[in-house]
Structure 1
Amino acid sequence: MKDETPYDRLPYTDHAYAESHPNRLAVVARLSGWRAPELAAARILEIGCARGGNLLPMAMSLPGAELVGIDPSQRQVDEARRVACAAQLPNVRVLQAGFETAELEAGSFDYVLCHGLYSWIGVEARRALLRAIGQWLAPGGVAYVSFNTLPGWYERMAAKDWLRRAPPNASLASLTWLREQVSPELGHYRRGLEQVLARLHETEPAYLVHEYLSEEHHPVYAGAFLAEAAEAGLSYLGDAIAQNVALELLPDDVASRVHELDVAATQEIIDFVKGTSFRRALLVRAEACTERGWRCPKRLDPAALASLRMASRLREELPGSDFFRGSRESVQVPDEAARAALRELERLAPRSLAFRELPGAGPALASELFDVWLATGELDLYAHAPPMASRAAERPEAPPLVRWQAAHGATLTNLWHQEVRLLEPLVRFALARLDGTRTASELAREAKRAGLVADEASVRIAMDLLAASALLSR
């Protein structure tokens, strides 16, 4: 029997991370002038895939791709395989192996993903991890590596060290006690403790154990990470959430200060200015950079939008208005061509549209929409569009994985690899049964027999909500 890992005893939280999807990686690559592999038939590896919460929805949205996940926890691998089988995902394999022992073909993966591992292993192990990523990554491929970052993590270190001193099974109570003893005059320190407490209350116990109580936990400066990546033959491409490192969103003095600095020094200054605590670094092979004559740009290229697709969560507040409402706040869009494009994207939502198909497509519109994307986060850029419905068909169909998630009370992941919170019993009941064989009236009758209050109209409303949430393939 293989050695048991801490994740066998307590599996980690099971989530999809939209920023780690190869679709996002390909977008940042294009904006940075890097030609990344096409997604439709890509080979994708996730290191530390756990129960498949991130990997399996990727397989759902990229049916022509080949996906491989590795994880040392046999329990988590078994669960991932079970769900993959139930969700009819023949394009994914999950292997029980760590990055130190996995036998994978060198240079064979277009995208290599590693979320939540680098900061939780020792120094020599993380260097070995980066060497493995460099070995498995294809010459033109893109890797994603997330890690906890200084200086931002300094604000959480006191809470972490206190929690490691707390009695077993009394961590939250102990941290609550500490917060109450801290004088209100120490407002910044007290608020930091409160933020950690709030985060721990909204997550599963596994997050506390593996994030704050682990013996191995090493936040690092971006420069230290990039130095280790360079030793492994990897170069920095950008951040998966480009807005986090965009000089355009920082004071002009920051851009002036970093003008002559190298990539590592630039990223560290950005982190000091923003107090960054977590990064999602994208890496490429250094030898490929030399062959292509490519250097990491200080700023992204708006003209690259011409080769991408767009989807929007912005909604026009009033007909003819300059204001569009997002998930958090409203934004004014003075440019008429940009407003026309946003109206068209609103009409098609949640589906995307190729930029070249937007009304008024051209360099000026690309510049305007790039600014909206950068400033609001309410536009999504894509290199690939999975099949999805913007309206429910007469007999709607949801992907088998989504139906499995609905039936088993799991977090829903839509076709854009975004997590969706839909808790209404009728909505989840309907979603679990949308296999393309049932009409709204038939589902309403099934729901009534199950003891739910339902009629055809309410089921149709549920179906429309599911379509708007990018959960329907037809």
Structure 2
Amino acid sequence: MNNNDYDEIPYTKHIYKQTQPDNLATIAALFGMQPPPVATCRVLELGCASGINLLAMAQAIPQGEFWGIDLSVQQIQEGQANIQQLGLHNITLKQMDIMAMDSDFGQFDYIIVHGVYSWVSPTVRAKILQVCHHQLHPQGVAYVSYNVYPGWHVDTMLRKMVLYHVQQLEKPQEKLAAAKTLLHFLIESIKHKYDTYSLALKKELIRINQLEENYFFHEYLEKYNEAVFFHEFIEQAHQAGLQYLADTKTLFTAIAAFIPQTEILSLNLIEKEQYFDFLHNNSFRETLLCHQAVTLNRDLVPDKINNFYIAAPLKLTTGHLLNNSLNSLETTAKLEPNLSEQFETLSGRMVLSVSSPLLKVICFYLGEIWPQSISFEDLLRRVYELLIKIDKNRYQAILAPPHIQEVKTMLLEFYLKDIVELSSYPPQFTLPISERPLASPIARLQSQRGNQVTNLRYEVFKLNLATRAILKHLDGTHDRNFLVEIMKKNIVEEKLLLYQGEERKALTEIEPSELDSHLSHQIAEILQDLAKKAYLLA
């Protein structure tokens, strides 16, 4: 890793939901581990860049302790400035070489290494795994991402092409400019060719030509970017005293569909994962590791659901509950077993058809409270209260052990299919909107810098100018009258151009007596949208 390269062309990292301690702890617990409590976890990120991923953790887990190191002076300084601006006291960023890591840093519950392993020398790769072994809690989890074959073979070819073209250049910006010129030349040269090689090459050239420049440079022009086969990485991890826990990208769902075919070859778990890569041309892995001394239980029994919070983005689309709310489930006929209800995820993907009265109301309830999470115990209690309200005699015994076991089985199955979310430490946000709304500090910071803003569930939404103009002022001290004045100021200064009605009358043309009312209504809609998208804190 070249320090000057990362200072001259900083690598932009983001907030990665898959690396958050809650996600790592949840997966570990499902496999029989006893991961350290997320609420008080100690986390290390190697190659943290400006630390935005760690900042999100530090904001979400105030009793945790977070450390990040990176070689880039510029990015660490940027991260330290952000820490000061956000007022966080549980995070430390240090400019240093990974090779300088030693036992003085102590032990960590979770170690994150995202976008580093493939991009450093073999010596540093060995050190990364050494740190993951020597400084990981006995029941801790390490996350390491890396490029893999066979999918990265084409990228390796393209990387060697651009490296050959820029071999006489030294300055990063010169290399970047020359590489982009080469891509344009190659695309133009084969745009009218339709043989197999040209079509495949054209597809990849167009893809990488559309990458952000900082990403393109560090992926294709850095000194190191060595992909490995999955089984090679696991062997390296094994030599360092670590074992394979899971992979966040192919977790359960992909491999489960592939398992029946593997019986022909009598493959073990690692071989199944490797053959999955062969068949799907996988190019990137996000692997979780733990100590070899840990005894894993990969039998995902339904009773494990007891220990988690549950959330599901379900939307009722057809059936007899369609026009009801939580307070209007009135007639027993609507819950007859022979009457099915259809549910989709919010993305519009049909996921299930349910006929059991208990399962119907559970899915309905989870959809109604989304994006909030609820413990399994509370979920059963609240659904039971709804059913008793409908018909006490009919549903008095609805929570008999066989019915509860059916619910656990369903929820676990839906988790494996990426329909239901499980959490050991659910995100902290609020849906009710206070008189002086408070938004995530990181979201407020990001809203000043661009339209991609991360919420408290670690999801990224593209927010428009009007929403960002409001969001950046939601620090818990401003009421709606203040927000109206902010909107007026932005309109006067022509930073915002808003319209009213189907005739799209510009707000500058509206009578002053109408303007406040219109802006108040619009701000109410913006706040409601921000709440539903999990940007607001209690």
TM-score by length of 1: 0.90
Alpha-carbon shift at residue 245 of structure 1 (Å): 6.4
State whether structure 2 residue 229 is matched by structure 1 residue 221.
Answer: yes
Does the CA contact (< 8 Å) of 1:338 and 1:369 recur in 2? no
Alpha-carbon shift at residue 370 of structure 1 (Å): 2.6
Number of residue pairs the alignment of both structures matches: 461
Which of 368, 388, 397 lines up with 2:438 in the alignment? 397
Q: Secondary structure at the match of 2:78?
A: helix
Alpha-carbon shift at residue 332 of structure 1 (Å): 2.7
Alpha-carbon shift at residue 158 of structure 1 (Å): 2.8
Does the CA contact (< 8 Å) of 1:110 and 1:138 recur in 2? yes
Does the CA contact (< 8 Å) of 1:11 and 1:206 recur in 2? yes
TM alignment of 1:274-289, pairs within 5 A = 274-287=280-293, 289=294
Output the CA distance in 2 between the equivalents of 1:188 and 1:367. 47
Output the CA distance in 2 between the equivalents of 1:355 and 1:258. 39
State whether structure 2 residue 453 is matched by structure 1 residue 432.
Answer: no
1:369 is aligned with what amino acid?
A: L
Alpha-carbon shift at residue 257 of structure 1 (Å): 4.3
Alpha-carbon shift at residue 106 of structure 1 (Å): 6.4
Change in Cα spacing, 1:296 to 1:369, as seen in structure 2 (3 Å) is: closer
Output the CA distance in 1 between the equivalents of 2:479 and 2:245. 48
2:374 is aligned to 353
Q: Secondary structure at the match of 1:250?
A: helix
Output the CA distance in 2 between the equivalents of 1:322 and 1:188. 45
Q: What do the CA deviations read for 1:178-200 (whole angstroms, capped 9, x no partner)?
A: 34516754447624642453354
Output the CA distance in 1 between the equivalents of 2:13 and 2:372. 26
Q: What do the CA deviations read for 1:334-385 (whole angstroms, capped 9, x no partner)?
A: 354444223222222222111232236833222222323333x343221102
Change in Cα spacing, 1:356 to 1:430, as seen in structure 2 (3 Å) is: same
State whether structure 2 residue 306 is matched by structure 1 residue 306.
Answer: yes
Which of 179, 182, 191 lines up with 1:174 in the alignment? 182
1:230 is aligned to 238
Alpha-carbon shift at residue 312 of structure 1 (Å): 2.1
Q: What do the CA deviations read for 1:22-57 (whole angstroms, capped 9, x no partner)?
A: 111111111212111110011011111101121111
Which of 361, 364, 369 lines up with 2:406 in the alignment? 364
1:232 is aligned with what amino acid?
A: A
Change in Cα spacing, 1:329 to 1:80, as seen in structure 2 (3 Å) is: same
2:13 is aligned with what amino acid?
A: D
Which of 377, 385, 397 lines up with 2:426 in the alignment? 385
1:279 is aligned with what amino acid?
A: R
Q: What do the CA deviations read for 1:189-222 (whole angstroms, capped 9, x no partner)?
A: 6246424533541x42110000111221111111
Q: Secondary structure at the match of 1:243?
A: coil
Change in Cα spacing, 1:253 to 1:414, as seen in structure 2 (3 Å) is: same
Q: Secondary structure at the match of 1:163?
A: helix
Does the CA contact (< 8 Å) of 2:440 and 2:455 recur in 1? no
Output the CA distance in 2 between the equivalents of 1:388 and 1:13. 26
Output the CA distance in 2 between the equivalents of 1:217 and 1:184. 30
2:416 is aligned to 374
Of 267-276 and 144-153, deviating more is: 267-276
Q: Which runs of 5+ in 1 are unaligned?
A: none
Which of 351, 365, 369 lines up with 1:344 in the alignment? 365
Output the CA distance in 1 between the equivalents of 2:107 and 2:242. 16
Q: Secondary structure at the match of 2:217?
A: helix
Output the CA distance in 2 between the equivalents of 1:187 and 1:63. 54
Q: What do the CA deviations read for 1:310-330 (whole angstroms, capped 9, x no partner)?
A: 222232224444131432523
Alpha-carbon shift at residue 439 of structure 1 (Å): 2.7
User: Relative contact order (C-alpha < 8 Å, sep 6+): which is higher?
Assistant: 1
Output the CA distance in 2 between the equivalents of 1:258 and 1:342. 39
Output the CA distance in 2 between the equivalents of 1:217 and 1:328. 38
Output the CA distance in 2 between the equivalents of 1:353 and 1:193. 48
Q: Secondary structure at the match of 1:40?
A: helix
Of 228-237 and 317-326, deviating more is: 317-326
What is the RMSD computed on CA atoms of the aligned residues?
2.4
Alpha-carbon shift at residue 258 of structure 1 (Å): 6.4
2:452 is aligned to 411
Alpha-carbon shift at residue 300 of structure 1 (Å): 4.1
Change in Cα spacing, 1:372 to 1:465, as seen in structure 2 (3 Å) is: same
1:194 is aligned with what amino acid?
A: K
Q: What do the CA deviations read for 1:97-136 (whole angstroms, capped 9, x no partner)?
A: 1221134546510000000111111222211211022111
Aligned identity (percent) is 28
Does the CA contact (< 8 Å) of 2:345 and 2:419 recur in 1? no
Output the CA distance in 1 between the equivalents of 2:197 and 2:63. 50
